[in-house]
Amino acid sequence: MTTRTPFLLATLVAAALASTPALAADKIALVVKSLGNGFFDAAHQGAQEAAKELKDVEIIYTGPAKATAEGQIEIINSLVAQNVKAIVISANDPDALVPALKKAMARGIKVISFDSGVKKDGRQMHLNPSSNALIGEKLVKMTQDAIGPKGEIAVLSATAQATNQNIWIDEMKKVLAQPAYKELKLVSVVYGDDQTDKSYREAQGLFKSYPNLKAIVAPTTVGVAAAAKAVQDEKKVGTLFVTGLGLPSEMAGHVKSGAVKSFAIWNPIDLGYSSIMAAHQFVTGKVKGAPGEKVSLGRVGTVTLDANNEAAMAEPFTYDAGNVDKFAKFF
pLDDT digits (tens, 9 = 90+) for 205-261: 999 999 999 999 999 999 999 999 999 999 999 999 999 999 999 999 999 999 999
- What distances in angstroms separate CA 217 from CA 118, 136, 241, one per listed residue? 24, 11, 9
pLDDT of residue 24: 80
**pLDDT for 149-201, tens place per residue?**
999 999 999 999 999 999 999 999 999 999 999 999 999 999 999 999 999 99
Is the per-residue pLDDT at 16 higher than 60?
no
- The pLDDT of 90-116, averaged and rounded, is 98
Is residue 280 pLDDT above 80, yes or no?
yes
> For residue 16, is it within any domain?
no
- The verdict on 289 and 219 lying in the same domain is no
305-310: long-range contacts (C-beta < 8 A, 24 or more apart)?
Answer: 305/125, 308/120, 308/126, 309/120, 309/123, 309/124, 309/125, 309/126, 310/117, 310/125, 310/126, 310/127, 310/128
The answer to whether position 14 is within a domain reads no
Task: Please report, for the domain that includes residue 291, its CATH number.
Answer: 3.40.50.2300
- Which backbone phi and psi does 221 adopt, to 5 degrees? -65, -30
Phi and psi torsions of 118, nearest 5°? -110, 165
pLDDT at 7 over 80: no
Predicted confidence at residue 164, as pLDDT, reads: 96
The alpha carbon of residue 206 and the mean position of all alpha carbons in its chain are separated, in whole angstroms, by: 26
Q: Worst-scoring range by mean pLDDT, 267-271, 296-300, 312-316? A: 312-316
| Helices and strands (DSSP H and E) totals, the chain | 11, 14
Q: Where are the alpha helices (DSSP H) in 55-162?
A: 69-82, 98-106, 132-147
Please tell me the total count of domains within the chain: 2
Domain span at residue 154?
132-265
The model's pTM is 0.88
Rounded to an integer, the average pLDDT of 12-16 is 43
Asked if residue 96 is part of any domain, the answer here is yes
- Contact of 114 with 275, CB cutoff 8 Å: yes
**CA angle, 222 then 121 then 169, to 5°:** 35
Same domain, 140 and 261: yes
Task: Say yes or no to pLDDT of 130 above 90.
Answer: yes
Least Cα distance to 164 among 51, 312, 326 occurs for: 312
Same domain, 252 and 158: yes
Q: Closest Cα partner for 202 from 229, 184, 176?
A: 229
CA angle 96, 98, 103 (to 5 degrees): 130
Same domain, 116 and 219: no
* 326 falls within a domain: no
298 in a structural domain: yes
For the segment 22-42, the average pLDDT, to the nearest whole number, is 91
Q: Name which of 269, 242, 259, 241 is nearest 327 in CA terms.
A: 269
Please report, for residues 4, 6, 13, 239, the alpha-carbon distance to residue 1 in angstroms, rounded to integers and kept in the order given.
10, 16, 20, 97
In this structure, the answer to whether residues 259 and 148 fall within a common structural domain is yes
C-alpha angle with apex 81: 83 to 290, nearest 5 degrees? 45
pLDDT of residue 314: 85
Mark whether 258 and 140 lie in a shared domain: yes
pLDDT band at 8 (very low <50, low <70, confident <90, very high): very low
Give a yes or no: residue 177 inside a domain: yes
